[in-house]
Amino acid sequence: MELELKKCSFNYFDVIFDACAAHEETLEAIVPDACPDILRIVETEGMAFLRSCETMDGRAELGGTVRACVLYVPENERGVRKIDVSIPFSHTFDIEGASPKSRILARASIQTIEARTVNPRKLVVRVGICVCATVYNPCVLEMCTDIADGCEAEMQKTKRSAYMPVAIKEKSFTIVDELEIPSSKPPASEILKTTVRLVTNDAKIIGSKVVFKGTAMIKTLYFAGGGASILDDICVIENELPFSQIVEVDSLDEEAECRIDLSLTGIEMSVRADMAAESRALSVSLTLEAQAIAGIVREFETISDIYSTSCEMEAEMRPYNLKSIIEKSVRRNTVREVIDVQEPCKQVIDMNARLGPAVQRREQARIFFDCDCEVTVIYFGEDDMVYNASRRFTVSYAVEAPENAVIMARVSISNESFSSASASGIEVRFSVDYDIECSLAERVMAVSAVKSDGGIKDVSGRPSVVMRFLSERECLWDVAKRYGTTVKDILTANGLEDEASAHPGRLLLIPKKR
C-alpha cells in the first residue's frame, strides 16, 4: 500500500523556450508624386513594432510592422527629403511543449536596414529584424515534506530554495506630450526621423500592483528651411519624457522581485498645427507595452531519504530541477571606433548604433557576449552637402561565470554617445549596457511516494550490539539506515551531542532497535 505523505505545492511559470532569430524582409516602394526625384540616398532608419504574439500547439507566431524612413538628397533641390515605407513582417518559432495556455514575452528590433534606388522614382528597402521570444508554461511544483500523522518512519530532510517566476502580465498605454524646440535651434518645418529609447527607472510591488517609472529618450532630426545655408536647416534635438504606470497582478507576494521590459508599439510625431507660424513645438504620441514578470525565492524542505525500523518500506525517488539566481547586474561597456568617410567631414549631424542579439561563447571561466553592431553617421561634407558613412563590427564583452552557470543577457545602447570629425574619418563613442542574470540549475532527487506491505521487519538475526568505525564517506544517517536503528539512538549510545560530533574514524557503538 502507498503511505500518505504531506505535500506542499507552488504555482509558477517554467521557461520552455528562449531564443532570438534573424528575419529579413524586402519591399519595393514608389516615390510619392508630391516628392521630387531621388538624387542620392543619405540614410535609411527604421523601428520595428510588434502587433501580435500568439502561442499555439508546438509553435508561436509573431507579427508586426517595420516603419522605415529613407532620407535622400533630391534632384534640383536644396536640403533633405524623406520617404516613409511600411513593411509588414511575421515570424514563426517552432517550440516543443508550447500550447494556447503558454505565455509569451517577445520583442523585435532592427538589426540592419538599407535602401537602394532602382531609378529616381523607385527604391528597394531591405531590413534585417531580430525577433526574440521567451515562452513560459504554467506549472505546479509539488514536493513531499513529511509523512502523515500515524505513520512511523525515519526521515532525512534537506532545506531547499528555488527561484520561481510567479506572475506574468502585460499592459499597453499611451504617452501624449509636446516637445519644445530650444531657443538656440531654428523652428521646424518637417520632421525627418525620430528614434526612441525606453528606460525602466524603478519598479515596486505594492499589494497586487506593480508600480514602475520609466523614461522615453526621444531624438528628433528635423528640417528647418529658410536658413542662410544647409548647415542651418538640418537640426537634432533630444528630449526626455518621464512616465509612471501601474500594472495589476493578482496574488502577488510583496517579497517578489519584478522586472519590467518596455517596447514601443507605435509612434506619431508632427509639428504642432496651432504653432505652424513659429513651429517651435512638436506633438508626440507614443504607444508602449510593458511586460512585467515577477519572481520569488521559495524556501521549503524535501525528504531526501526515508526508512522504517519496524516495517518494510520502499521509497520512490524522482528528480526535481531547481533554479537559483546568483547574480543580477547591469554592466556597461564603452565602445570607441573610427568610421571611414568618402568625403571629408565638416560637421556631424547625427549618429545611430544598432545591435544584434548577444551570442555566447565560453573560454575557460569566462563567458563572452558577441554582438554584431552597425553604426551610421550623417554628416556635412566640406562642400556643405549631406553624406552618410557606416561601419559594421563586433562588440564583445566578457563576464566571469561558474562552469555550470546559465547566463541570460539583454543588450542595449545607452543614451550616452559622442561623434566628431577626426583626421582619419569620424570618431564615434557609445556605451553598451548588458542586463545580466546569472543562475544555477540544480537537479535534486527527493522522495515522491512511499510504499509499504505492512509486514513487520524480522530483526531476530541481528546482533544486539555492533562496534565499528565511521568511514570517510559515511554519515550517521547511512549507518543508522544500514543497521535498522536511528541516528538518535546512536548519539545516545555514544554520548554525542549532535551528528557533527561523529568524526570519520571514530569507533561507534550501534545499538539494536527493539
Q: What is the pLDDT of residue 249?
A: 84
Q: Is the pLDDT at 275 greater than 60, yes or no?
A: no
Instruction: Using the predicted structure, report yes or no on whether residue 79 has a pLDDT greater than 90.
Output: no
Between CA 76 and CA 304 the distance in angstroms is 82
Dist CA 254 CA 272 (whole Å):
44
pLDDT for the residue 514: 63
Q: Kindly report the pTM of this predicted structure.
A: 0.86
Average pLDDT for 199-226: 89
Please tell me the predicted confidence (pLDDT) of residue 278.
62
The residue behind cell 555566447 is: 360
pLDDT at res. 276 = 46
Q: Which long-range contacts (CB under 8 A, 24 or more apart) does 205-209 make?
A: 205/249, 205/252, 205/253, 205/254, 205/256, 205/258, 205/294, 206/254, 207/252, 207/254, 208/248, 208/249, 208/250, 208/251, 208/252, 209/246, 209/247, 209/248, 209/249
Q: Is residue 388 within 8 Å of residue 381, measured between CB atoms?
A: no
Does an H or E element contain 313, and which?
A: none
What mean pLDDT, rounded, does the chain reach? 89
| Average pLDDT for 18-39 | 93
**Residue 226 in this model has a pLDDT that exceeds 80:** no
DSSP character at residue 477 = H
Percent above pLDDT 70 for the chain: 96
| In 224-344, beta strands by DSSP E | 234-248, 257-271, 281-307, 314-339
Quick one: pLDDT at residue 459? 65
Say yes or no to pLDDT of 124 above 70.
yes
Mean pLDDT along residues 195-215: 90
d(CA 161, CA 12): 14
Q: State mean pLDDT over 405-432.
A: 88
Cell for 122? 523607385
Higher-pLDDT residue of 147 and 318 is: 318
**Mean pLDDT value of segment 242-255:** 84
Q: What pLDDT does residue 58 have?
A: 96
pLDDT in tens, 480-497: 988 888 999 999 999 998
Please determine, for residue 356, whether its predicted confidence score (pLDDT) is greater than 70. yes
